[in-house]
């Protein structure tokens, strides 16, 4: 299950342009910005999956906190102009 979370985090990093697939995430055209909706959709998917894994006992409270803090940082980076 941690692999699934890692995949979601990787998806999130692709949205902010930290991958060779930058063009697919630039929904606002050629100005190099990322659509805020994509940021929130990725964050929501990461948080939902993390909470599900925590409820199933696959994550500890410390791991869940780490994911939530990382998602918060992701949103801050993604939404900064």
Q: Which residue shows structure tokens 């929501």?
A: 44
Structure token pair of residue 79? 């939404």
Q: Which residues of 20-48 are buried (b: 16+ CB within 10 A; e: fewer)?
A: eeeeebbeeeeeeebeeebbeebbeebbe
Q: Is the pLDDT of residue 75 over 70?
A: yes
- Cα distances from 2 to residues 13, 25, 38, 43, 56, in angstroms, run 16, 24, 22, 16, 12
Record the tokens describing residue 73, joined without a space. Answer: 């940082």
Per residue in 10-68, pLDDT (tens digit) is 555 544 444 433 434 444 444 556 788 888 999 999 999 999 999 999 999 999 999 99
């Amino acid at each position: 299950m941690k692999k699934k979370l890692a995949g979601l985090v990787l998806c999130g990093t692709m949205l902010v342009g930290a991958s060779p697939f930058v063009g697919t995430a630039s929904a606002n055209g050629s100005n190099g910005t990322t659509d805020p909706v994509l940021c929130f959709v990725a964050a929501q998917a990461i948080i939902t999956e993390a909470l599900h894994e925590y409820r199933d006992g696959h994550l500890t409270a410390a791991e869940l906190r780490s994911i939530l803090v990382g998602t918060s940082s992701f949103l801050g980076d993604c939404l900064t102009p």
